[in-house]
Structure 1
């Protein structure tokens, strides 16, 4: 492998990842980069594990989503284990789906029926109880080498940093938007009731608690209605 060329490609890819304007764009760029930069990779995806549930966050083709659903149903597979940090490993690999797999005896033959010949799974991120993995697939057995694994690991490392940055930016943007709508709602209440700022905020908070609705949702309603929503009347029997 031409590592100098690969390094240049990785630098370009890292720049492209940081240029994405959304988490979705970052995810899609990561999986596309895997097929472009890792030898033998025909398809790639990123899955999210939440307990035993699996959610496909990005995929280059339907085969990836089908593999995620299969691993969720069987509760086994390289990507499934990578996302769960099973045995403390960070990389999982099946070199040949046609060979009996002691570790994933149910998954391998079913994956072969999906058109998967070999695959690798890499831990990508952890957040609370949610774990993510970058998964690479080849239609042919024996396509992934040690060099492929090294290249994929470098990609996964860059991807984790970029994805973390994108998620942080998205959370910050949401936080700013939330503060803005709450401030706007407080202004409406202050003007309508001739009250102070802290009183307006307490009105929003009390309404949120009484209705068991998030504060930002109450604020959005106030902005839309121009006043606090009327309390729901109990239904008559």
Structure 2
């Protein structure tokens, strides 16, 4: 493997990831980069575990989502283990799906029926209670080498940073949008009821608490209706 070329490619990818406009676009670019940069990779995707839920994100093809669903139904698989960090390992690799695999005895034969020859899974990030894994698949047994694994580790590391940055940016944008909408709602109440700013905010807050609604939802309804809603 030409590591000089790989370094140039992953450097360009890292810059490109930070230029994406949304978390979804960032994840799709990560999956696309996996098939471009990791030798032997035919398909890739991200699996996220949040509490008892599992979600397939940005699968490069339908097979990836199908394999995530299969692992969810069976309650076992390398992607789940990578995401859960259940063994303390950061990387999981199945070199040949035609051979018995004691770690995941139910998953491997079912995946082989679907045309999977080999795969790797990498712990991607941890944020709050969410665990994630970046997963690579090949239709050919023995497709992933030690070099493939090293390349996967580097890609997963860059992907984790980019994904965290994208989430932080999205949260900041949402916070600013919420603040703006609350300000609009306060302005409407001030004009309608001829009350000062602090009283307008207190009315929004009391309505939120009394009706068990998020403040931003109350503000949205006020902006739509011009007054506090009648529930």
Number of the residue aligned with 1:4: 4
Cα-to-partner distance string for 1:135-159 (whole Å, 9 max, x where unaligned):
0000011000000000010000000
SS in 1 for 2:133: strand
Quick check: 165-174 or 46-55, which moved more? Answer: 46-55
Cα deviation, residue 174, structure 1: 0.1
Cα deviation, residue 129, structure 1: 1.5
Cα deviation, residue 53, structure 1: 2.4
Query: Unaligned stretches of 5+ in structure 2?
Result: none
Number of the residue aligned with 2:164: 164
Asked if 1:145 corresponds to 2:145, the answer is yes
SS in 1 for 2:100: coil
Where do 4+ consecutive residues of structure 1 move more than 6 Å?
Answer: none
| TM-score, length-scaled by structure 1 | 0.96
Number of the residue aligned with 1:101: 101
Cα deviation, residue 99, structure 1: 0.4
Cα deviation, residue 51, structure 1: 2.8
Structure 2 matches for 1:84-233, cutoff 5 A? Answer: 84-230=84-230, 232=231
The number of aligned residues is 231
Query: Unaligned stretches of 5+ in structure 1?
Result: 233-237
SS in 2 for 1:86: coil
Q: Is the 8 A contact 1:47 1:54 kept in 2?
A: yes
In structure 2, distance between residues paired with 1:51 and 1:179: 29
In structure 2, distance between residues paired with 1:135 and 1:91: 10
Quick check: 43-52 or 151-160, which moved more? Answer: 43-52
SS in 1 for 2:102: coil
Q: Is the 8 A contact 1:124 1:157 kept in 2?
A: yes
Q: Is the 8 A contact 1:52 1:75 kept in 2?
A: no
SS in 1 for 2:58: strand
Number of the residue aligned with 2:16: 16
Q: Is the 8 A contact 1:181 1:216 kept in 2?
A: yes
| TM-score, length-scaled by structure 2 | 0.99
